[in-house]
Amino acid sequence: MRLLVVGRLSGQLAAAVKMAMAHGAKVNHVERTDQATEQLRRGQGADLLMVDYNLDIAALIAANEAERIFVPVVACGVDNDADKAAAAIRAGAKEFIPLPPEADLIAAVLAAVADDERPLISADPSMQAVIKLADQVARSEASILITGESGVGKEVMARYLHTHSKRAERPFISVNCAAIPDNLLESELFGHEKGAFTGAVARRIGKFEEADGGTLLLDEISEMDTRLQAKLLRAIQERIIDRVGGTKPVPVNIRIIATSNRDLAKAVAEGTFREDLLYRLNVVNLRLPALRERPGDVAVLADHFVKKYAAANGVPVRPLSLDARRALAAHRWPGNVRELENAMHRAVLLAVGPEIDAEAIRLPDGQPLMGAVGGAVDNGLAGRAAQTADAVSRAYVGQTVAQMEKTLILDTLTHCLGNRTHAANILGISIRTLRNKLNEYADEGTRIMAPQTGIATTGYGASAA
């Protein structure tokens, strides 16, 4: 993990830095907040900022966000002023670390905020076959395309490939092509020179240069505009890039991994994705099976998430009951591993007694999993399904097609906890189409669920999950 410390490196802060380094963090240091933003702008990236709470944390976060730099901040202070600590949290800091530091606290904060531990866990033969192929190609320089439904763990696989590659000691940089508007994605990838466009107040190093020597993950590559695909193709072929507004090419040494939850061959046929770019990216294809296709993974993943979220929430680790395991096995998991992770997080919080029973494992709307009652899928399931289908059908009677479409989109978004990529995948539309629809509904005054949070907002931002 890359840690950038901001503030005067006095004794107690220096001790905290040494503890962070002992836990594997790679540390850089600046004294002022403007220097921090400038260092990030120059491509000297960080996964976490540790900032003296006497500095203006709100201004630092605002300056970073103006440059589309989103790095979590933890505040620290030596005099343990409760008002300053509270002000730092209100300003946007994720955590507060009192100084002098405790080694366990430093380790916990680094793990919780950076969330570096994303192990690739599997016991199912179908997934094991994919991991075996990944092990074969990890140390090569070949570009790799990882495909599969939303939530199957494509980014986890990308990190696994990087960790097992020759570039493991160099940066792993991820860009979500679906979450960044087309007019900003070029600058995000390739950087820009000062004055290249309105708001370009200084040179900005893009993700290609930030990943130099390491791995660049292009997440949801299918959502990239075709014009930008041509520039990406040149960068991959020639290993040089042009900053926006730049006058000379910049060499880069990176490995490309791309992901997509769409059929790129179909996108090529439809004219929305370049065939030559697909050939460049798809040297090796790793298709991750959906969770319903790898039932042997459900139990081991559930156990892992129980331990993870019990530790994160400071509660004892409770084993899953037999009925709970049956309910997990019976569910289809349309949201794949991401849905399972969220369900187990809820279960850890809702469970009472010595075990996590089936009643504690609930869907986002609070309903138990199908088959949770009695610990198995019983004959009552068909009756409940029929009643639900009848209720849904009656609810649509009298609505226009546009109203039905709006209801379906918003209900699906709610089911996905605001995750745009997952919702678009379920609906069978592109994320761009989904964005346009949500913007249209927001303009009408409809409250739109924000990504990841489950909180409705009156507008729709570009940072979709």
Query: What separation, in Å, do the N-terminal and C-terminal C-alpha atoms of the chain show?
Result: 22
The CATH number that applies at residue 299 is 1.10.8.60
pLDDT digits 0-9 by tens, 201-240:
678 888 999 899 999 999 999 989 888 999 999 999 999 9
Q: Tell how far CA 301 is from the center of its chain.
A: 18
pLDDT digits 0-9 by tens, 134-178:
999 999 999 999 999 999 999 999 999 999 999 998 889 999 998
Average of per-residue pLDDT across 300-315: 88
Compute φ and ψ for 6, nearest 5 degrees: -120, 120
Residue 195 is encoded by which pair of tokens? 């004055």
Nearest 5 degrees, angle CA 384-CA 385-CA 388?
Answer: 85
Q: Tell me: do 189 and 315 sit in the same domain.
A: no
pLDDT of residue 138: 95
- The residue ranking higher by pLDDT, 271 or 465, is 271
pLDDT digits 0-9 by tens, 345-397:
999 998 888 999 999 998 887 787 865 544 344 444 444 444 444 444 444 55
Q: Tell me: do 108 and 148 sit in the same domain.
A: no
pLDDT of residue 439: 86
Average of per-residue pLDDT across 84-101: 83
Q: Answer yes or no: is pLDDT of 433 > 80.
A: yes
The single residue listed with the structure tokens 């620290």 is 76
Q: How many domains does the chain have?
A: 4
Q: 3-state SS string over 203-227?
A: CECCHHHHCCCCEEEEECHHHCCHH
Contact 127, 167 (CB under 8 A): no
Q: Tell me: do 149 and 256 sit in the same domain.
A: yes
pLDDT of residue 155: 92
pLDDT of residue 221: 94
pLDDT of residue 464: 41
Q: Domain for residue 383, yes or no?
A: no
pLDDT of residue 348: 92
Q: Answer yes or no: is pLDDT of 461 > 60.
A: no
Is there a cis peptide before residue 100, judged by omega within 30 degrees of 0?
Answer: yes
CA–CA dist 450, 68 (Å, integer): 18
Q: Tell me: do 267 and 323 sit in the same domain.
A: no
Q: Tell me: do 141 and 283 sit in the same domain.
A: yes
pLDDT of residue 372: 52
Q: Domain for residue 386, yes or no?
A: no
Q: Domain for residue 340, yes or no?
A: yes
pLDDT of residue 356: 93
The CATH number that applies at residue 194 is 3.40.50.300
Closest residue by Cα to residue 339 from 321, 359, 320, 364 = 364
Q: What angle do helix axes 380-396 and 401-415 make, rounded to 10 degrees? A: 140
Q: What angle do helix axes 182-190 and 226-238 make, rounded to 10 degrees? A: 10
The CATH number that applies at residue 405 is 1.10.10.60
Closest residue by Cα to residue 359 from 311, 326, 337 = 326
Q: Answer yes or no: is pLDDT of 457 > 80.
A: no
| pLDDT band of 113, cuts 50, 70, 90 | low
SS3 percent helix, strand, coil of the chain, rounded to 5, is: 50, 15, 40
How many C-beta atoms lie closer than 10 Å to residue 434's C-beta? 22
| pLDDT band of 112, cuts 50, 70, 90 | low
The CATH number that applies at residue 100 is 3.40.50.2300
pLDDT of residue 18: 80
pLDDT of residue 448: 86
Q: Which of 247, 262, 289 is the last residue of a domain?
A: 289
Q: Tell me: do 285 and 150 sit in the same domain.
A: yes
Stretch (H or E) spanning 145: strand 144-147
Q: Domain for residue 390, yes or no?
A: no
Q: Tell me: do 419 and 402 sit in the same domain.
A: yes
Q: Domain for residue 465, yes or no?
A: no
Q: Domain for residue 380, yes or no?
A: no
Please state, for a pLDDT cut of 70, what percent of the chain lies above it: 87
Structural domain range at position 335: 292-375
CA–CA dist 418, 139 (Å, integer): 36
| pLDDT band of 413, cuts 50, 70, 90 | confident
244-248 CB contacts, 8 Å cutoff, 24+ apart: 244/186, 244/187, 244/190, 244/191, 244/192, 244/193, 244/196, 244/197, 244/200, 245/192, 245/193, 245/194, 245/195, 245/196, 245/197, 245/200, 246/191, 246/192, 246/193, 246/196, 247/193
Q: Tell me: do 368 and 280 sit in the same domain.
A: no
Q: Tell me: do 279 and 334 sit in the same domain.
A: no
Q: Which of 289, 318, 333 is the last residue of a domain?
A: 289
Residue 381 is encoded by which pair of tokens? 């399931």
DSSP 116: -
pLDDT of residue 375: 39
Quickly list DSSP for 117-136: -------SHHHHHHHHHHHH
Residue 439 is encoded by which pair of tokens? 């913007």
Average pLDDT, the chain: 83
Q: Which of 152-161, 261-270, 300-309, 311-320 has the lowest mean pLDDT?
A: 311-320
CA–CA dist 95, 106 (Å, integer): 11
Q: Domain for residue 429, yes or no?
A: yes
CA–CA dist 331, 253 (Å, integer): 44
Average of per-residue pLDDT across 331-346: 92
CA–CA dist 89, 73 (Å, integer): 9
CA atoms within 13 Å, Cβ hemisphere of 257: 29
Average of per-residue pLDDT across 293-303: 94
Q: Domain for residue 393, yes or no?
A: no
Burial class (CB in 10 A: 0-12, 13-18, 19+), 241: buried
Q: Tell me: do 311 and 357 sit in the same domain.
A: yes
Q: Tell me: do 43 and 151 sit in the same domain.
A: no
Q: Answer yes or no: is pLDDT of 187 > 90.
A: no
Q: Tell me: do 188 and 150 sit in the same domain.
A: yes
Q: Which of 114, 138, 156 is the last residue of a domain?
A: 114
